[in-house]
Amino acid sequence: MPILDRPSILWVVVAYLAVVIAIGWWAARRTSNARDFFIAGQSLGLWVTGLATMSAAFSGFVFIGGPGLTYRMGIASLFIAAPAGFTAGLLCWCVAKRLRLLAEVRELYTVPDALLARYESRAAAGLAALAVLLGTVAYLGAQVQALGILIEAVFGTRQWLGEWSLPVAMGAGLAVIVFYSIAGGMIAGVYTDLLQGALMAVAAVGVFFYALRSGGGLAEIGRTITASERFGADFLDPLGGIPIFTAVGFFLTFAVGTLGQPHMLHKFYMLRDPRQLKWLPAVIASAQSLCILIWLGIGLAVPALVASGRLAPLADPDQAAPLFILGFVPDLLAGLVIAGILAAIMSTADSFLNIGAAALIRDLPKALGWRLPHQLRWGRVAVLAVAATAAFFAYLYGDLIALLGTFAFGTFGAALTPALAIGLNWKRVTPTAATASGVLGPSEHLPGAAEPSPRAWRLALKFRASRLFRHPLRGDPVHPTGGAGRGCGSGDGDVRRKG
């Protein structure tokens, strides 16, 4: 039932979005230069950075795409979410500390900036910028698609617009996102992340409770699904719905690949005090674990409701979350969850528009040896270009949101993880190796993206020893570790130039 027929939900959504718009207006007044626009003035505290990092990863992909993917392939989809328990620590200790300390001595706004500072290789930085652009278009396309599906579900636009409903809903949502991003830049995004991250972490517990309640408890949900001809016992088998290589590919992509996600790494530049990094894993992992309850709860409840005849079979699995929230959750909580998901999509889209625009007007020109003037002005123009490209891509795409998000996640991971996770912790990694990872990763990932597998990871991480390291020479690039061979997060974090 569209929320136009349920005014209490509508008013909660309107009130919440009014707060988000107010944050955007406030952020626009604080955005006066490129540093403010791209890294929020490097002025954020622990909780804002932690929740913004979590929100950058968990948005339409998790809240809309996750339950849809579970409806299609069963609980095997949770191989994507399984690494959440340890990736926050891995991310902070292996990469975040190095990036933040490097930003103390260099003007770094983006991940390609860090690679240029570390390797002094314009080729490595340029390839990273291309990977960021490609992944941004795909990931932003997933957010636009999720936003369109949610708008379509809650406002009932399909009954008025027919087959044009989803494109119109996507266009309307994208227009709001673009205005929001152009006005406030990253400041608007991170403070919206703080609000919606805290809300969704709490609301996820409530949604999970109603998901279990709707199916009569976890045991009854399991029995209903198992007895169903549509789903059957394989639905609850971790390897029942997908080949083992696909499961391993999902796990590795979202475990190791987290170390190369620019929309998450970008947030660490914004932390005011690097000493607070030691507390970030607890903040990020706790919030992520709570938010995954939405994926798990709705992902199990909707198949059980379909199996019991209380909900019609879904023509589009990505409708699972909107249909459940509107049909089985009390109005007040439903309004908060819908508004929170809308805000999550908006803030994540803002992050991707920001890093995509930076790659287009800052990183690629630097890789070509020239600097674009008036970066704040051109950054806002680039936001429009990236948004239009992502919208077109999303319109042409015809599969699940979670699979599109997985493609983007894998693109970032295959291209950037080796150069960042290894190169920032081991000074014997060479510019040649960083450039090779930028070529091998995407070239092996893209042909196999339609059927996720560990193929990309096998080849992207499989450097020959002769290309991976050499004895350090004088004139080596800036390196953020105190010495060769130190492990993730070890050392005093001194940043100095060799030679």
Residue of 465 and 83 predicted with greater confidence: 83
Contact 433, 469 (CB under 8 A): yes
At 488, is the pLDDT very low, low, confident or very high (cuts 50, 70, 90)?
very low
Average the pLDDT over 51-77 and give the result: 86
Check: CB of residue 404 under 8 Å from CB of residue 465.
no
Dihedral of CA atoms 480, 275, 55, 328 in degrees, nearest 10, equals: 140
Task: Give the CB-side neighbour count of residue 68, counting CA atoms within 13 A.
Answer: 27
**In the chain, what is the straight-line distance between the N-terminal and C-terminal CA atoms, in Å?**
68
Give bridge partners of residue 271 from the DSSP assignment: 44
Give CA–CA dist 425/489, Å, rounded. Answer: 8
Rounded to whole angstroms, how far apart are CA atoms 30 and 186?
Answer: 11
d(CA 359, CA 436): 20
Span 305-323, pLDDT tens digits? 999 999 999 988 999 999 9
Q: How far apart are CA 321 and CA 340, in angstroms?
A: 13
Contacts of 148 (CB under 8 A, 6+ apart): 166, 167, 169, 170, 171, 173, 394
Residue 29: predicted pLDDT: 67
Residue 477 or 268, more confident: 268
pLDDT at residue 463 is higher than 60:
no
Q: Binning pLDDT at 50, 70 and 90, where does residue 492 land? A: very low
Burial, 18: exposed, middle or buried (Cβ in 10 Å; 0-12, 13-18, 19+)?
Answer: exposed
> What's the mean pLDDT in 12-22?
76
Q: Are 467 and 432 in contact (CB under 8 A)?
A: yes
**What pLDDT score was predicted for residue 226?**
94
pLDDT digits (tens, 9 = 90+) for 114-171: 899 899 899 999 999 998 998 888 888 888 888 888 888 777 788 788 888 888 888 8
Write the CA distances from 295 to 62, 197, 337, 422, integer angstroms: 6, 15, 13, 32
Fold of 3-468: Sodium/glucose cotransporter (1.20.1730)
Angle between helices 320-328 and 280-307 (to 10 degrees): 80
Q: Which three-class secondary structure state does DSSP give residue 496?
A: strand
pLDDT digits (tens, 9 = 90+) for 398-439: 677 888 888 888 888 888 998 999 998 888 889 998 898 888
DSSP notation for 288-339: HHHHHHHHHHHHHHHHHHHHTTSSPPPSSGGGHHHHHHHHHS-HHHHHHHHH
pTM reported for the whole predicted model: 0.78
State the pLDDT at residue 310.
Answer: 94
Q: Alpha carbon 85 to chain centroid distance?
A: 16
Weakest-pLDDT range from 32-41, 79-88, 237-246, 481-490: 481-490
Pick from 250-259, 297-306, 416-425, 441-450 the range whose average pLDDT is largest. 297-306
pLDDT of residue 31: 62
- Each domain of the chain, given as residue ranges in start order, spans 3-468
Residue 455: name the closest of 464, 463, 447 by CA: 447
Give 190 or 460, the one with higher predicted confidence: 190
Using a 10 angstrom Cβ sphere, with 0-12 exposed, 13-18 middle and 19 or more buried, the burial of residue 107 is exposed
Q: What span, in angstroms and rounded, lies between the C-alpha atoms of 13 and 271?
A: 30
* pLDDT tens figures, 66-112: 999 999 999 999 999 999 888 888 888 889 888 888 877 787 888 89
Give yes or no for residue 495 having a pLDDT over 50.
Answer: no
